Structure 1
């Protein structure tokens, strides 16, 4: 099984603000379900977001969760990675969702050529009940909107 990729450029209306202080300074994340935009030092920056849906066999979910956790933990330490999170869908509990956020395409390329991604793809494959789907987004514009 391989990984299929859908790529889009998009603009997303957002409704919520999240703030984080970390080793790279202050970051402001504008979110709508997942983190989409970020501002560093008062300057708007584009961002790359990759959202993956990985269908897992129900009886292998615990074992797969450990593999996914190791991947996320290692990936968050990479230069240019803003965030890397794994969740399981409430409505489809055997579907892992991976939300990756990068500062630029160079960070994405570095991640895609990393040894831990190669390890992850080999380790997770026996746990997948179907082909995973990946969606790549390049966020190029920020639109502020009022919430409900």
Structure 2
């Protein structure tokens, strides 16, 4: 399993359009085989910074995801909305467990 954590800054004037785009790609991505979780949220300190959390079973699931029509559409529209550099990190996970709070 692996996790991708990305931060995506958007132009303030394009925030509403970006929010719709992120919501659409998240909804469609969560229906794919091999995707454990796919979430998008906004930063509490910066409403123009979107945070994406993606959790995949394996590399094949990620590669299949990257070839979907909704990712093609997302990647075509995203550059016009960006307000800075995208930062994405992959974390390879050997095990996980729940924490109690």
Task: Give yes or no for TM over 0.5.
Answer: yes
Corresponding residue number in structure 1 for 2:89: 135
Q: Find the partner of 1:103 among 20, 42, 57.
A: 57
Match of 1:27 in 2: none
Q: Is 2:52 the counterpart of 1:65?
A: no
2:79 matches 1:125 = yes
The TM-score normalised by the length of structure 2 is 0.90
- Name the Cα RMSD after superposition: 1.6
Bigger proportion of residues as helix: 2
- Distance apart, 1:58 and its partner CA: 1.0
Higher relative contact order, structure no. (Cα contacts within 8 Å, ≥ 6 residues apart): 2
Give the deviation of 1:48 after TM superposition: 1.1
4+ residue runs over 4 A deviation: 143-147
Equivalent positions of 1:1-148 (< 5 A) are 47-142=1-96
SS at match of 1:90: coil
SS at match of 1:135: strand
Instruction: Give the TM-score normalised by the residue count of structure 1.
Output: 0.63
Listed as ranges, the gaps of 5+ residues in structure 2 are: none
Q: Which has the greater radius of gyration?
A: 1
- Which has more strand, going by share of residues? 1
Between the aligned partners of 1:77 and 1:120, the Cα distance in structure 2 is: 16
Once residues 100 and 21 of structure 2 are traced to their aligned partners in structure 1, the CA distance between those partners, rounded to angstroms, is: 39
SS at match of 1:117: helix
How far apart, in 2, do the equivalents of 1:110 and 1:62 lie? 28
SS of structure 1 residue aligned to 2:32: coil
Q: Which residue of 2 aligns with 1:16?
A: none
